[in-house]
Amino acid sequence: MLRQRILTALVLVPLVVWGIIALPSTWLALLFGLFVAQGGWEWSRLMRLESSGVRLAYVALVLTGMIGGWYLFI
């Protein structure tokens, strides 16, 4: 399991660094939004939310908070 995580990090870290350096802030925010959405989906599984609708509502709530933060700090 640790080996898989290390290999994943070796692939993702250069991509994230490239994204921070090369992408405009809007595209970078969309990329991070995808990461946050995936994290929200996984977190909803950890909270043992079984209904897909409830899990989608949780992810929508997380993304709404992220979008609110984006507009707050523009």
pLDDT of residue 51: 93
CA distances from 33 to 4, 39, 43, 47 (A): 24, 10, 15, 20
What are the tens digits of pLDDT across the range 20-71? 999 998 898 898 899 899 999 999 999 999 999 999 999 999 999 999 998 9
State both tokens at 4.
């898989």
For CA atoms 31, 35, 36, 38, give the dihedral sign: positive
Query: What b-and-e string marks burial along 44-63, b requiring 16 or more CB atoms within 10 Å of the CB?
Result: beeeebeeeeebeebbeebe
Q: Are 56 and 68 in contact (CB under 8 A)?
A: no
pLDDT of residue 66: 93
